[in-house]
Structure 1
């Protein structure tokens, strides 16, 4: 939603631009975890903690204001409408960045995300804009830009409410006036849409009776194994549909999206983020020579290493030629206290049977 100086409105998605006087009723939000000390020369990052139950009682159009902070020699304030700024937004939270300085216009990048229930930043609903905010002729007015419909209140309550509060993180970064801003690459997003819409697909894969459509050229560009299979002398090169064995539909779906986007889904978007799922993905990455995916899976598995899992994960690292993960698991294993506990696990028994040379090396180093 865009609002000009005279109050005339046009619908432009949910972004909204304000040239507005500060004459509205508002409630000042005092519970700031990290106030204006978190300031560098050209940026400022701070948290804004909202009492959710209290915010539900206030009228639509009532704002909480952050403290005024400084970034890049300019003063800024965040306007936060927990019940929406307009009646049309009442099911949403509205958020706007307000340029408080009167010296000159400035190009700014404003980013907003929430803290998850695990007290870690969650990027699932992160939003960002880059705009030039102007100096207003009216000294009592300021230029704002933001989102009239940032996030639905129901999603906020279901996914982010922790002990009665929701914590937002605001990042304000000033763009160098003397440089041309180059946005980050979004080719992965576009290729992901290509996969989602199945435009121009020329091959399909059948995995346990599920069919996945894809583009031969994309697969061949990303995987030498697919290149040999789809463009070489193998019989699959001329087949419109290929049946795959020894891989689950869930694993193939994630691998296929990684091939197109070079990213894994966020863990809270995965149907299964278990150790076994990443083991299956590691196996697929090894099979199709997707080296970056292998490293990502290795890191995910390393994060799950404990005395109960180290032997099993070490066996996977050896099986799927993941040397760095193997070395880290062995380093963990040879700590005497870890070794004494890990030898009683089923994974250790499997390791003894399949890879006795690794056991010999571990015992030598303990």
Structure 2
């Protein structure tokens, strides 16, 4: 017995992707800001590891900045994927948190499109997160302490389903 496949109507194949977003945040409090200065350009201090979307992350705080060209004038901040898995797509936002009012900085740079963390220890962030002298005169630095808040959204594609057969019927010949 042979089965015949007849299109019900002319159609274009389509596909559907289900996307799941998992979000979370982490606060990294720097106690003793002035003591962290002077460790050297390109040297960093890491936050505790935190989990969002089933993946493990940490923040890297570079008190003297990441690049020599900036001459230690800026603080750099990066998010690091500490998973061994690759190709984790995430959108994140790193800001200063006012410990008294709970407000977040508005003049720090922001990521506007997702980044794919393609390898273990892959990082993404801001070379010029904030000028040291701007932090030092701000309300975000109190009693030689400040807090960095990282909001992260992990983007997971759960399935790719081909719908081209949805418009096809299978019938048995007479």
Same fold (TM over 0.5): yes
In the TM superposition, 1:58-97 aligns within 5 A as 58-89=39-70, 90-97=72-79
Give the whole-Å Cα distance in 2 for the aligned partners of 1:116 and 1:170. 13
Q: Please say which structure displays the higher CA radius of gyration.
A: 1
Match of 2:118 among 108, 111, 134: 134
Is 1:152 the counterpart of 2:152? The answer is no
Greater RCO (Cα-Cα under 8 Å, separation 6 or more): 2
TM-score using structure 1 length: 0.34
Match of 1:176 among 136, 156, 159: 156
Count of equivalent residues:
134
Give the whole-Å Cα distance in 1 for the aligned partners of 2:145 and 2:101. 12
Give the whole-Å Cα distance in 2 for the aligned partners of 1:167 and 1:59. 21
Is 1:115 the counterpart of 2:87? The answer is no
RMSD between aligned residues: 2.1
Unaligned segments of structure 1, at least 5 residues: 1-40, 136-140, 180-366
Unaligned segments of structure 2, at least 5 residues: 1-20, 160-174
Offset of residue 117 of structure 1: 6.5
In structure 2, the residue matched to 1:48 is 28
In structure 1, the residue matched to 2:106 is 124
In structure 2, the residue matched to 1:100 is 82
TM-score using structure 2 length: 0.69
- 1:191-211 superposed Cα distances (whole Å, 9 cap, x missing partner): xxxxxxxxxxxxxxxxxxxxx
Give the whole-Å Cα distance in 2 for the aligned partners of 1:67 and 1:117. 19
Give the whole-Å Cα distance in 1 for the aligned partners of 2:128 and 2:154. 24
Higher strand fraction: Structure 1 or Structure 2? 2
Higher helix fraction: Structure 1 or Structure 2? 1
